Amino acid sequence: MTDRYCVFGHPVGHSRSPRIHKAFAEQFGAEIAYEAIEAPLDGFAGAWRDFVNHGGKGGNVTVPFKEDAYRLADVLSPRARRAGAVNTLVLGKQGDTYGDTTDGIGLVRDLQAHAAPLEGARILVLGAGGAVRGVLEPLLAARPAVLMIANRTADKARQLADDFADLGETTGGGFDEIVGTFDLVVNGTSASLGGELPPLPDDLFADAALAYDMMYGAEPTVFLRWAAEHGARTVDGLGMLIEQAAESYFLWRNRRPETGPVRELLRSEI
């Protein structure tokens, strides 16, 4: 029987995960079935159980269900527990559900692929929602000099910085509290979806700084266009999507795909 996997979301028709995992499976000559499932907003747990009852082995989870997946999992990885969110579900041999998050490691691997400054760097992360919470632990594990979280709601950024302060030097505040230059600026806000730019100072970037947007598209986001105009190197989030997917594939099948060819394939298709 062909192993079944899926991605849950709402909406989810735009997801490139089926394309990515098909390409991963082809590297190993494996036959898998991977589909996109639009779960009801109030019915994620039921959608997972139905998928498992029909032979499902594992699933990816995208917005708005990552916290639902966290609550559903019988066993959580340490990084998922820290993030408070799950983007990968694995069906155990005894029928239990294991929850993990691969977003953070996906981001860091993509940053490393682009020679991003990490160790000893000044890092600014924009936003304080679930997308940001899921990447802070691996970013801090790279031992930056300081990591600042800036958000429209300053108190939310300060609370998030406090939550992760045991892992490294963290600060939090509003966009108007950003002071100094940064080696790496990661946009984890949803502003790019609406073509908006957070209110950022013009002198944000240090020499050879990298600007990274978790969003991606056929054209650079408004944040990346602005960053390029202000002297930064720019990278979008397509590589993060592929790297987190590769980690999910490894969790399901204990084989780690090559991500380079899949990057080239998807970049040619968007």
| Distance from C-alpha of 248 to C-alpha of 212, rounded to nearest angstrom | 22
Question: 128 a known binding residue?
Answer: yes
* Cis-peptide, bond into residue 138, ω within 30° of zero: no
Pairing of strands 32-38, 56-61: unpaired
Q: State yes or no: is 93 an active-site residue.
A: no
Is 16 one of the annotated binding-site residues? yes
How many helices (H) and strands (E) in the chain? 10, 12
The answer to whether the annotation marks 17 as part of a ligand binding site is yes
DSSP alpha helix (H) spans, the chain: 17-27, 44-53, 66-72, 78-83, 103-113, 130-141, 154-163, 222-229, 238-253, 260-269
Would you say 155 is a known binding-site residue? yes
Catalytically annotated residue among 22, 57, 66, 93:
66
Cis amide linkage into residue 11, ω under 30° from 0? yes
DSSP annotation of 211 reads: E
Partners of 89 in the beta sheet? Answer: 59, 99
The answer to the question of whether 157 is labelled as a binding residue is no
216 annotated ligand-binding residue: yes
Q: Is position 192 annotated in a ligand binding site?
A: no
Q: Is 189 marked as a binding-site residue?
A: no
Q: Is 194 part of any known ligand binding site? A: no
Tell whether residue 131 is among the known ligand binding residues. Answer: yes
What residue type is 25 in one-letter code? A
Residue 129 among known ligand-binding residues: yes
Binding site, residues? 15-17, 62, 87, 103, 127-131, 151-156, 214, 216, 237, 244
Residues at the binding site for NADP(+) are 127-131, 151-156, 214, 237
Residues with active-site annotation:
66
Q: Binding site residues for shikimate, as ranges?
A: 15-17, 62, 87, 103, 216, 244
